[in-house]
A and B are shown apart, each in its own frame.
Chain A
Amino acid sequence: MTLFALRRLLWAVPVLLGVSILVFTIARVIPGDPVLIATGLERADPKILAETAQRLGLDRPLWVQYADYLGDLVRGDLGHSLRHRRPVSALILGRLPATLELATAAFLLAIAAGIPLGVVAAVRRGTGFEHAAILGAVGGMSVPAFWLGLLLILLFSLQLGWLPATARGGSLPGAFAALLTGGGLSPLWRSLSHLLLPALALAAPTTGLMVRMTRSSMLDVLGEDYILAARARGLSERTIVYRHALKNALVPVVTIAGLFLGRLLGGAVVLETVFAWPGIGRMAVLAVRSRDYAVIAGTALMVAVGFVVINAAVDLVYAWLDPRVRYD
């Protein structure tokens, strides 16, 4: 198992190298001059533009620029933002906690709602509950998250006035820490009240998929011979479903769920704009617009690292859930 884990992590190196080449090239191949965009069309001066490009090394061949970038990367330097004039690593570290908090909250919501609903839908096959669950799931998957986000804002902030529309109400771990050190409930409530709407909007598509995945996987497992055998032994339906069927049914769900945590990080990009959430997503969008190469590459690499780590973790959980899986 340890050897497997190590090998799994080693595999990440070529993947990340590939990602860095791709992101680096794509960012630079798309038309658009970062210096011109930063200066603004109205005050563009050809001489100054050329000089600046030269000083930033943007006039050198692409592979030379990449070699430079990779050299810095190996030393842990993600480069310098043209727009913010600050190290990219500092920019990302400042914003990553907010994005992680939002993605994790959405993930937990999706699991907490998706898996139980899927199980119940499978167990109560053919009932109105199943139909309603499937309908809700398809709805959640089909609705674009940013649109759902706007609807939630209109309903809960504008109409009902229950929850704030935008911004982060302080860090959630910080609020928990405050609660434990006697700071009272109000920081926690403030943090949660700001988090709830964006997390709901972000969680909706994933929840829908979880419901469907869990339900169909559960149905498959419930039709297996060993379940029939368990029934023949006279075990209670409860024991059959929760002790025997659920663990096996969850194997494919966990695989997908892991991938979805990665996808949630990406989905947060759009919702961060709608909810003015101070994460890396908004910075990434602006970086693409202003061709801030180092920030584009840095954020993409961060998300890629997230994906790789999550995938590795999923593989390990997979092995734990299903001991038949062999890793040679």
Chain B
Amino acid sequence: MSLRRRSILSMLLMVVLVITALGAIACNNEGETVPEPETGGTLVIGNNADVDSLDPHLAADLYTVRVCDQIFDTLIRLDFSGDYVGSLAESWDVADEGRTWELTLRQDVYFHDGEPLTADDVVHSFRRIMDPEFDSPRRGDLAGVDGVEGITGDGDDPDRVNITLVEPNGAFLSTLLNIHIVPVPDADAREWVPVGSGPFKFGEWVPEERVALERFADYWGGASPLEGLVFRPIPEVSTRVVELETGGIHLMDEVPGEDMERLEDMEGIEIDSTVGSNYSVLGLNTTREPFDDPMVRQAIAHAIDRERLVEVVYPGTAVAADGPLPPSSWAYDEDFNGPAHDLERAANYMENSSVPDGFSAELLISEGERMQRGAILIQSMLEEIGIELEIVTQEWGTFLQSLMGREYDMLRVAWTTDPEPDALLYSLLHSGSEMLNFSGFASEEVDSLLDRARVESDVSERARMYREVQSIVVAEAPMIYLLHENHVAAYPEEVRDFRPHLTGAYYFQSSFGAATWMAGD
């Protein structure tokens, strides 16, 4: 997004705010008040897929985690603006130059079975994930953990948990976002049951039909106004839209661009969106000719019109990217601009490159209608500077294999991340990253910045280093940052105080922000 556009946007925003404020005052003058949340109602959510399991330590995909998030709590969470806030951990301290993290637990937390949550449960949860025999997909998250130790508080002192890392890691908090706390099982328990400390407790799971949850009255963050939640797996997006329109569900996300306008015009349907913490890139295989030539990469970067890509393929559901740091990240730099769309400059780069007469290459994509349409658009954009692309579509599993084996010329892929830049910047760009540095990019400067930023604990210093990495990577262009997709949610107007979260997770409880509730007729 250009600077000018942004300032126009902020002006518009100001105007809207002023009008809303005036409107609110007017309403108050007439004696109307903001409606009080009503208690009751079951919110039915259209989920893209059924849950794989209700054990949060076996959950890997968003659609499963989304359900587990209601039953289980994590130690910390991200609030709606992307800041870390305490959840089960009230506070945290870092010691030993970032090698030891000490978390202080809340004292008023109970599991759904009435047992209090203690440091033992936290230690058990960590050890369960780290156990190779248990084979949790989250085990890799805790690969850097050396040991976990629980300290039971005396009397009024809260319980604490000390986590020691193999090496200092300033980004460790982001790891904790994915670790749900489960209770230490009873010695005589035969079967694992989904008992957590979250705002909703488990009701029933009918595979491929629904997961039903009930309000947990003793939730430490205050009981939800909602009586219950039902997650219904509806894999086909157009059917999900029909279910929303006919009242079969009350909430869906990933609203397709082609349905946006119709839903927006529909009376009684609200659309809300937030820029997601993700990015979609065009990766160039720098270990292959001619992509080893920085001139060629620059030419491609300037030939691509990201704004147009968003306009045509993602109308209203994405924003053009400037670099690898999405607006939701604390390291985001709003003054930073990505490569400008400039065909003349692109042509100049091409003329001075190793392939002045152009070349042909393959563009690898995974399945999906928007991927396909985006690829066709990119194909036509690069044709302008003499690059002839053949689009090759692969099924996701095969695509992953090609990506990791660097068996491609150019590819388009999207990554979801959290606002912590380390995770993806390190694995995608550090020359020592074995598996995921798919573009084959290697820069001593970037390596050193990423290494230093990882162990640094001062956030502003880290932000500075990541911004420097961003400048280098955008200039070197081993991959071209195309766009950040929004999380677009649609719901009928009786659903109140719902906000889409930048990670795509659903938070309905009031432990931060307003609690979601449903208005009666």
Name the residue among A38, A51, A167 with the largest chain B CB count within 10 angstroms.
Answer: A167
Q: Is B401 a contact partner of A165 (Cβ separation < 8 A)?
A: no
CA distance A132 to B428 in the complex (A): 61
CA distance A85 to B55 in the complex (A): 10
Q: Which single residue of chain B is at the shortest CB-CB distance from A164?
A: B248
Q: Is A46 a contact partner of B236 (Cβ separation < 8 A)?
A: no
Name the interface residues of B411-456: CB closer than 8 Å to any CB of A: 415-417, 423-424, 427, 434-436
Name the interface residues of A80-94: CB closer than 8 Å to any CB of B: 83-85, 91, 94
CA distance A90 to B398 in the complex (A): 29
The reply to whether the CB of A8 lies closer than 8 angstroms to some CB of chain B is no
CA distance A282 to B236 in the complex (A): 11
Contact A278-B246, Cβ < 8 Å, known A30-B398, A46-B434, A289-B396: no
Q: Which single residue of chain B is at the shortest CB-CB distance from A51?
A: B132
Q: Is A41 a contact partner of B234 (Cβ separation < 8 A)?
A: no
CA distance A275 to B235 in the complex (A): 9
The reply to whether the CB of A248 lies closer than 8 angstroms to some CB of chain B is no
- Size category of the binding interface on chain B: 35 or more
The reply to whether the CB of B238 lies closer than 8 angstroms to some CB of chain A is yes
User: Which residue in A48, A91, A98, A158 is a CB contact (below 8 Å) of B140?
Assistant: A48
The reply to whether the CB of A220 lies closer than 8 angstroms to some CB of chain B is no
Q: Is A32 a contact partner of B416 (Cβ separation < 8 A)?
A: no
CA distance A227 to B284 in the complex (A): 74
CA distance A76 to B141 in the complex (A): 37
Name the interface residues of A130-160: CB closer than 8 Å to any CB of B: 150, 153-154, 157-158
Q: Is B242 a contact partner of A276 (Cβ separation < 8 A)?
A: no
CA distance A37 to B366 in the complex (A): 14
User: Which residue in A41, A161, A278, A290 is a CB contact (below 8 Å) of B209?
Assistant: A278
Contact A31-B397, Cβ < 8 Å, known A39-B60, A42-B415: yes
Contact A167-B397, Cβ < 8 Å, known A40-B60, A84-B52, A273-B235: no
The reply to whether the CB of A43 lies closer than 8 angstroms to some CB of chain B is yes
Q: Write the A247-284 contact mask toward B (1 if CB under 8 angstroms, else 0).
A: 00000000000000000000000000111111100110
Name the interface residues of B195-248: CB closer than 8 Å to any CB of A: 206-209, 232-236, 238-239, 242-243, 245-246, 248
Q: Is A33 a contact partner of B400 (Cβ separation < 8 A)?
A: yes
List A contacts of B436 (CB < 8 A): 41, 44
The reply to whether the CB of A286 lies closer than 8 angstroms to some CB of chain B is yes
List B contacts of A326 (CB < 8 A): none
Min C-beta distance of A21 to chain B, whole Å? 21
Q: Write the B388-404 contact mask toward A (1 if CB under 8 angstroms, else 0).
A: 00000001111011111
The reply to whether the CB of A212 lies closer than 8 angstroms to some CB of chain B is no
User: Which residue in B52, B236, B246, B424 is a CB contact (below 8 Å) of A274?
Assistant: B236
Q: Is B209 a contact partner of A85 (Cβ separation < 8 A)?
A: no
Q: Is A276 a contact partner of B246 (Cβ separation < 8 A)?
A: no
Q: Is B53 a contact partner of A84 (Cβ separation < 8 A)?
A: yes
CA distance A282 to B140 in the complex (A): 29
Q: Is A46 a contact partner of B435 (Cβ separation < 8 A)?
A: yes
User: Which residue in B58, B61, B233, B243 is a CB contact (below 8 Å) of A40?
Assistant: B61
List B contacts of A41 (CB < 8 A): 400, 403, 415, 436
The reply to whether the CB of A72 lies closer than 8 angstroms to some CB of chain B is no
* In the complex, the 8 A-B pairs of residues with the closest C-beta atoms, listed nearest first: A32-B397, A278-B208, A45-B140, A31-B401, A276-B234, A43-B140, A31-B398, A39-B137
Residues of A with Cβ closer than 8 Å to B? 30-33, 36-48, 51-52, 55, 83-85, 91, 94-95, 98, 150, 153-154, 157-158, 161, 164-168, 273-279, 282-283, 286, 289-291
Residues of B with Cβ closer than 8 Å to A? 49-50, 52-53, 55, 58, 60-61, 132, 135, 137-141, 143, 206-209, 232-236, 238-239, 242-243, 245-246, 248, 395-398, 400-404, 415-417, 423-424, 427, 434-436
